[in-house]
Chain A
């Protein structure tokens, strides 16, 4: 129990340190966040134009697309703000930079993932809230479901990135491959799930888990139910377990890069 509370305190300290670091360059922070929000809105404009012309695509309307965008953008924002280190994990492994984390009496994965924060993620989160509000999903009764959906989306996203990046333990230079895999996951998550069926749908719940990042959390917000809550939670737990196991297995193969450096 004490160990859990220590870990939580450590996680909180990481978050606070990252926020301070991001805000140290105040102008760059606001510029990145604001431009990312503008960037997201510009991207969404293509969907607005399409729905303005056709009203419905496979039973989905603009409000549904706003929900997709809201949940996935918020989830992605959470992942890169609070787990920004995950996206450079492969480089850290390849360069042997885990050494400095291994000597700390703290969980290595948590330390590696929480050791960086991406300021533009705040822009993603702002877009997410804005979209969910415009879609009329932020009502008092739906808020718990929305919170579960975005938290789960963010967690699965982080776990997916960690899993793909951890392949570097076995395959070496896999930075680009890992990046492409999570980009595919994000790309698929941003489309209506009704577009996919059969083998593609199976792929989207396994190898490229857009289903757990987008489809299921979005369904939970669109039509909340106990079964969907359970499915979303199970997906998050499953992917966190996979990421932890893959990282732990890889860590046993890790060889030091013998870099010289210090870490606070």
Chain B
């Protein structure tokens, strides 16, 4: 039993490693992403300066808000568009060849996305920290919270990858999955608090946002830059685990339905 599990894990690890190696070769894209992160942080550091960060949140300065954005942007920019990979294979029919492999099709796609994300994060996180340090003028006042960003960031990117895989599987039913991605992405931006903390939202919107999984993909890891809050981190981590289980269930359901649909179409 254990050896079967480790063999299965080994296969997915090989997928992740191959994807990471491919990502490593694409240096121009990685550089572009880092520059984009720098641009966004620069723009928002100017916005917070113009607004006067003291007016934003009590006890929070421009520095913390820049760090918040650096963390949320790193999480979002590190996720590869796994839905496009799935959509492309469904459209071209290549998915039929992938299904005969001794590896779950979606599992392979998710493993590849995780490998690519890990490598992107290895570049983006230090770059984001450097930009935030330079543009914000140092570390957050209470930098202990930054350690809690790591587990919450991992939960955030895993949730995002699984969500995108679910969107990609919709390609078995619709021609173009991009519209679903746009809506999911913007919901992550708005309800997730990508650009600024949810605490700045009207109270009614904060309540709506916290019912959804989106804050766990941005706000939760970013919130740790605003101050040390282990209770918030624990509650977010627990919610994250529950949402990850729900997303896994959704993907399993979609995969089984998609397989039936492919058979019906004669693919």
Interface string of A144-158 (1 = CB under 8 A from B): 000000000000000
Most buried by A among B36, B50, B180, B196: B50
Q: Assess whether A28 is in contact with B47, with CB atoms less than 8 Å apart.
A: no
Q: Is B183 positioned at the interface, with any CB of A under 8 Å from its CB?
A: yes
Q: Assess whether A46 is in contact with B195, with CB atoms less than 8 Å apart.
A: yes
Q: Assess whether A43 is in contact with B46, with CB atoms less than 8 Å apart.
A: no
Instruction: List residues of chain A with CB within 8 A of the CB of B89.
Output: none
Report which of B178, B182, B190 forms a contact with A46, defined as CB distance below 8 A: B190
Counted as pairs of residues, one from A and one from B, with CB atoms less than 8 Å apart, the total is 87
Interface size for A (C-beta < 8 A) is: 33
Instruction: List residues of chain B with CB within 8 A of the CB of A263.
Output: none
Q: How far is the CB of B35 from chain A (nearest CB, A)?
A: 8
Instruction: List residues of chain B with CB within 8 A of the CB of A196.
Output: 46
- Chain A positions 160-205 with a Cβ under 8 Å from a chain B Cβ: 176-177, 180, 183-184, 187-188, 191, 194-196, 200
Kindly specify which of A9-17, A49-57, A77-85, A253-261 makes contact with the partner chain: A49-57
Report which of B26, B42, B47 forms a contact with A57, defined as CB distance below 8 A: B47
Q: Assess whether B39 is in contact with A188, with CB atoms less than 8 Å apart.
A: yes
> In the complex, A39 Cα to B187 Cα: how many Å?
9
Q: Is B102 positioned at the interface, with any CB of A under 8 Å from its CB?
A: no
Q: Is A143 positioned at the interface, with any CB of B under 8 Å from its CB?
A: no
Instruction: List residues of chain B with CB within 8 A of the CB of A52.
Output: 202
Q: How far is the CB of A136 from chain B (nearest CB, A)?
A: 24
Q: Is A103 positioned at the interface, with any CB of B under 8 Å from its CB?
A: no
Instruction: List residues of chain A with CB within 8 A of the CB of B174.
Output: 31
Q: Assess whether B187 is in contact with A42, with CB atoms less than 8 Å apart.
A: yes
Instruction: List residues of chain B with CB within 8 A of the CB of A28.
Output: 175-176
> In the complex, A52 Cα to B43 Cα: how many Å?
19
**B interface residues (Cβ-Cβ under 8 A, vs A):** 26, 28-29, 32, 35-36, 39-40, 42-43, 46-47, 50-51, 55-56, 174-176, 178-180, 182-183, 185-187, 189-190, 194-196, 200-202, 205
Other A-B pairs beyond A36-B179, A52-B202, A184-B35, 14, CB < 8 Å = A25-B175, A31-B174, A32-B176, A39-B179, A49-B190, A49-B200, A50-B200, A57-B50, A57-B51, A177-B32, A180-B36, A183-B36, A184-B39, A195-B46
9 contacts between A and B (CB under 8 A): A28-B176, A31-B179, A36-B179, A39-B185, A49-B196, A49-B205, A57-B47, A120-B178, A184-B36
